[in-house]
Structure 1
Amino acid sequence: MSWRHLLTRTKPFGCIEKEEPGTVIVGVPLDSTSTYRPGSRLAPDSVREAACNLELYSLLGKRSLEHIGLTDLGNIVIPQGDVELSLRNIKTVAKGVKEDYPDSLKIFVGGEHLVTLPIVESLGDLVDTVVIFDAHLDMRSEYLGSTLNHATFARRLVEKGFRVVHIGSRALSAEEAEYVKDVDNVRVVDVLEARRGVNTGKLGSVYISVDMDVVDPSYAPGVGNPEPLGLTPWELLELVKELVASSSRVVGVDVVEVNPLVDPGGVTSVLASKIILEVIGLYLR
């Protein structure tokens, strides 16, 4: 059976009806391990709706995106509460996207941050470095008795041998602080260092994961675990621009942890949509 049976159709991102394989978008409405403010399962459709009401222009890419065309495959079917089956479904779809759209920019809209784990595993051999923008390290060995959740996914990636560059952290446990000291394939750039710019050197092919709580909650209040003293949207986009310039290829991107249930005026969904548009613009440029 085709992997496409695990998808449900939705309004396309930005209401772009012209399908082209250059950019592929998939919604991943997983919200099973959220521990503070659940609701991120609603984000993929909220971010799409916000994009439909933005001008489709990339300032950093210096081009209009109105006629680029993209393929929005809809949302992955997620059996909320069954984490293992949810992760299997995400893996199946991500592998299908990898095989059927090998040369496309793959964009995944979460959902909680755990979605990054099965996506990166599925794209594995294409990815040299995983770059994570996040207020939290998400490198606990376990959290609340679970080893597979939004607070442990990055630890699992490191254990599987992926090189991780983590940018924007300002909330970490003592366990995580000790762990990253002794791991060769992790570089942590906290929010203070990130504000001065990040010299990553040549990264090869990258997968970029943006947890919206990396942005200060004054700009992005609608997230599952808000943390003060974050980046501004411009600081984030400048860092993304540097990463795209220093990588040989951007394999995929996810934007996660938007929570429409606690998002006054939908501002976080709008910002997430804008970030996606700018990433597309930078990629095309």
Structure 2
Amino acid sequence: MSTTDTTRKPKFDATTTISSEFGIFGIPLSEQECQLVMLPVPWEVTTSYGKGASNGPRIIRQASEQIDLFDFETKTAYEAGYFMKEISEEINNKSKNFKEIAQKVIHMKTEQSDDQATIDKLTAQVNQASRELTDWVYTETKKILNAGKLFGLVGGDHSTPLGAIKAIAEQHKDGIGVLHIDAHSDTRKAYQGFEQSHASIMYNVMNLPEASRPKKLVQVGIRDFCEEEFDFIKSRSDIKTFFDVPTKQRLLKGESWASIAADIVAELPQKVYISFDIDGLDPRFCPSTGTPVIGGLSTDEVFFLFSTLAASGKQIVGFDLNEVSTGEEEESEWDGNVGARMLYKLCNWSVVTNNKK
């Protein structure tokens, strides 16, 4: 049965309709009526391998209407209302324009061009555009938070949530932790000269000014990183990384995922922001993602981790979902479907952990 059937949503006014173009999951409520509001960020300027991450918000929204709203774990959490804002064509166009510039830089470096002046000039343009994107995300996030809404971000590449994490960390002065699910550590100081690369998001997050910086970063699924990143992680007492290899070794030796999930949650403070790069999953679940890596988590393991986090009594104060991509195609129905279902769980658990009595 279609999720737009209002008999599935007993607390919604059956006379209220809203175009799916400006909502999500077929929920017929306006932004003002919804407890949770999502910001789509169609940006993929610094990606260097696969492409199509800027299409993530669109394909997730398209797939979202196929989801049955009642959820076995969170029951009718959706009745709080979820809304995704309109996808910004201005941001999308800037992404296309500056990605062309970034690709030129990457090509010149690959070809070992001796025109360093041009490389430096173009790199500076990309870095400036990325800073402006971060400022835009920060401003838009503050608007959503100031309206009293729960917040989610839908990317885009994984560079997109820097401004959002900054805004949420500033809102919660008692401190937040970031639960980072990813194949990559994303702790490079810069990548290919780009200071706000998708490969640098967590380096940038953990080097924000103290008032804007999470007090703990907990990483899960990490299986692709350089020596520089490994050294950075080991140098920081406020970072705990559950690397994929030792995690899988624990499982292969007979330890339960429940035990590992409990260890992960125990590392987090009371307030948690979830930053989810879809390539944290085994690539069979989202094969079009830009930088797939063998190994990783199953959807069931991620769902169990979310439920363990909720059962611990901790509060999800925001989240992002990134790198759901179309690859070389304009459409990717399977990736959009998986992304929509992961996003729905993030929404549900956010509401549940904030509405506990």
TM (norm. structure 2) is 0.72
Report the alpha carbon displacement of residue 69 of structure 1 after superposing the two structures with TM.
2.5
Is 1:183 aligned with 2:236?
Answer: yes
Counterparts of 1:139 and 1:206 in 2: how far apart (Å)? 19
Find runs of 4+ consecutive structure 1 residues off by over 6 angstroms: none
Report the alpha carbon displacement of residue 244 of structure 1 after superposing the two structures with TM.
2.8
Say whether the 8 Å CA contact 1:23–1:107 is kept in structure 2.
yes
Report the alpha carbon displacement of residue 247 of structure 1 after superposing the two structures with TM.
5.1
Counterparts of 2:82 and 2:43 in 1: how far apart (Å)? 23
Say whether the 8 Å CA contact 1:58–1:277 is kept in structure 2.
no
Report the alpha carbon displacement of residue 60 of structure 1 after superposing the two structures with TM.
2.2
Amino acid at match of 2:164: I
Counterparts of 2:145 and 2:45 in 1: how far apart (Å)? 25
Counterparts of 1:175 and 1:237 in 2: how far apart (Å)? 31
- Which of 83, 91, 109 is residue 130 of structure 2 equivalent to? 83
Counterparts of 1:284 and 1:85 in 2: how far apart (Å)? 30
Report the alpha carbon displacement of residue 17 of structure 1 after superposing the two structures with TM.
2.1
Report the counterpart of residue 138 of structure 1 in structure 2: 186
Matches of residues 65-214 of structure 1 in structure 2 within 5 Å?
A: 65=78, 67-76=79-88, 77-78=90-91, 79-80=94-95, 81=98, 82-101=129-148, 104-125=149-170, 126=172, 127-160=175-208, 161-162=213-214, 163-191=216-244, 192-193=246-247, 196=257, 197-198=260-261, 199=263, 200-201=265-266, 203-214=269-280
- Identical columns (%): 23
- Which of 280, 292, 302 is residue 236 of structure 1 equivalent to? 302
Counterparts of 1:55 and 1:100 in 2: how far apart (Å)? 28
SS in 1 for 2:287: coil
Report the counterpart of residue 38 of structure 2 in structure 1: 25
SS in 1 for 2:225: coil
Compared with structure 1, are the counterparts of its residues 21 and 12 closer, same or farther at alpha carbon in structure 2 (3 Å cutoff)? closer
TM (norm. structure 1) is 0.89
Report the alpha carbon displacement of residue 262 of structure 1 after superposing the two structures with TM.
4.6
Question: Unpaired runs of 5+ in structure 1?
Answer: 1-8
Is 1:49 aligned with 2:89?
Answer: no
Aligned residues: 274
Is 1:251 aligned with 2:317?
Answer: yes
Residue range with higher mean Cα deviation, 74-83 or 216-225: 74-83
Flag the structure with more relative contact order, 1 or 2, with Cα contacts below 8 A and sequence separation at least 6: 1
Structure with higher helix content? 2
Deviations 1:34-70 (A, max 9, x none): 11112111110110110012212323213373x4423
Say whether the 8 Å CA contact 1:105–1:250 is kept in structure 2.
no
Say whether the 8 Å CA contact 1:205–1:248 is kept in structure 2.
yes
Report the counterpart of residue 117 of structure 2 in structure 1: none
Report the alpha carbon displacement of residue 106 of structure 1 after superposing the two structures with TM.
1.1
Deviations 1:104-146 (A, max 9, x none): 3211110000012111012122251011100000001111112
Larger-gyration structure (1/2): 2
Say whether the 8 Å CA contact 2:22–2:85 is kept in structure 1.
no
Say whether the 8 Å CA contact 1:60–1:282 is kept in structure 2.
no
